[in-house]
């Protein structure tokens, strides 16, 4: 007799099929092989006690603080744990319960309905001379060559910007920003990019929050707006709608000039989540669909190392919004805070962060090193 522990969910399903389990049974049993955990904050005390009993009754559990049973406080945090099958049963059960448990049930069902997205790599082109990573800076002529090279490597998206968003970056006028990026936009519009490569459906993204620059790029064939301000200017949303473009909403505390001056959050997961909820609602109210919205938690944008790590470890939470999730930690200083490393030597740390983020739900990886990421993600996908 010998035994071994099954790894990924794909391994578990394959083992069930190999065992000869009937097709319908494979799906049922697979749900019993996937453990889920939910941190619930500020739940009413009666609801905590009801949820605890209901969880135990089906074989799941709820971790609660001492004092809950005697209702010492009106609200408590708790951790729900169980298999996917347990959570499915519990979410239906709690729909009939009072004290806010109906909202808990709906939230659980939203998590259960999450659909995965294919992994895509987004390359970075900077048309400015003060980007923090010098190898990402390109003149208009060199930028065209680099775009063609990235497409050859298999990139899905290319993000092009002309203003640095590094901490304490110099502010730039809209006129200067447009002058920097205009030659690249014009080259894309006039098909100086290889037409056969354009046919591969590569998406061009404009990394800007300046309406005049964004509109020029959209007129030139760009179909994605990457806005680090999270569409704080409603004009950006209107432009996305006008040109039928997708919109990436990023979270940032402060501005590039102030964001790293002692960033603070009471609970970063709740605050970033609330930010996305508000911005998505704003986009939907103006007519955008969630299918056209991408979310970026903004690693390094008004966050300490601890904030960044928390967001990466819990990135799966943001899948509940039913939007693609973008991660961008390419060569950022958080790597240096973990292990002192010059910018030019941070590829290994970048790959480690991005692979963990993808494992936790990210589906678009924004990076400087396209070829290396495509290789790493192909190997990673083979092991999922």
Which sequence positions are flagged as catalytic?
332, 366
- SS3 for 264-301 is CCCCHHHHHHHHHHHHHHHHHHCCCCHHHEEEECCCCC
List the one residue out of 162, 173, 84 whose CA is nearest residue 128. 162
Type and span of the H or E element at 215: helix 211-219
**Long-range contact pairs involving 342-347 (C-beta distance under 8 Å, separation at least 24):** 343/132, 343/133, 344/133, 344/135, 347/372
Q: Where are the alpha helices (DSSP H) in 113-173?
A: 140-153
Task: Work out the burial of residue 201: count CB atoms within 10 Å of its CB; fewer than 13 is exposed, 13-18 middle, 19 or more buried.
Answer: exposed
Q: Are 12 and 28 in contact (CB under 8 A)?
A: no
**What's the rounded Cα separation, in Å, for the pair 81 and 69?**
19
Secondary structure element (H or E) that encloses residue 109, with its range? helix 101-112
Residue showing tokens 């402060």? 254
- Give the SS3 label for residue 325: strand
How far is the C-alpha of 316 from the C-alpha of 360, rounded, in Å?
A: 5
Tokens for 176? 């200067």
């Amino acid at each position: 007799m010998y035994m071994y522990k099954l790894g990924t969910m794909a391994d578990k399903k394959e083992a069930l099929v190999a065992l000869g389990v009937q097709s319908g049974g494979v799906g049922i049993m697979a749900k019993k092989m996937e453990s889920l955990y939910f941190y619930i904050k500020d739940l009413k005390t009666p609801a905590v006690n009801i949820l605890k009993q209901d969880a135990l009754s089906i074989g799941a559990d709820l971790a609660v603080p001492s004092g809950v049973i005697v209702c010492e406080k009106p609200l408590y945090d708790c951790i729900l744990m169980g298999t996917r099958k347990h959570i499915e049963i519990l979410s239906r059960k709690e729909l009939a319960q009072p004290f806010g448990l109906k909202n808990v049930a709906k939230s659980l069902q939203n998590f259960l309905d999450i659909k995965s997205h294919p992994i895509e790599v987004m390359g970075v082109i900077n048309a400015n001379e003060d980007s923090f990573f010098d190898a990402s800076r390109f003149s208009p002529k060199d930028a065209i060559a680099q775009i063609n090279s990235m497409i050859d490597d298999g990139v899905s998206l290319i993000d092009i910007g002309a203003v640095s968003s590094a901490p304490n970056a110099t502010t730039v006028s809209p006129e200067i920003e447009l002058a920097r990026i205009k030659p690249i936009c014009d080259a894309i519009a006039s098909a100086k990019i290889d037409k056969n490569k354009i046919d591969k459906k590569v998406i061009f993204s404009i990394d800007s929050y300046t309406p005049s620059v964004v509109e020029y790029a959209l007129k030139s064939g760009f179909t994605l707006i990457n806005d680090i301000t999270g569409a704080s200017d409603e004009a950006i949303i209107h432009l996305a709608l006008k040109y039928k473009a997708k919109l990436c909403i990023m979270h940032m505390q402060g501005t590039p000039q102030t964001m790293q001056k002692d960033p603070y959050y009471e609970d970063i997961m709740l605050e970033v989540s609330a930010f996305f909820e508000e911005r998505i609602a704003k986009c939907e109210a103006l007519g955008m669909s969630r299918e056209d919205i991408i979310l970026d938690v903004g690693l390094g944008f008004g966050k300490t190392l601890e904030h960044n790590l928390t967001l990466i470890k819990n990135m799966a939470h943001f899948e509940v919004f039913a939007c693609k999730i973008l991660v961008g930690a390419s060569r950022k200083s958080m790597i240096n805070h973990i292990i002192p490393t010059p910018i030019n030597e941070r590829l290994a740390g970048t790959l480690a962060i991005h692979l963990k983020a993808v494992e936790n739900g990210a589906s678009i990886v924004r990076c400087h090193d396209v070829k290396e990421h495509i290789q790493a993600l192909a190997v990673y996908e083979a092991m999922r």
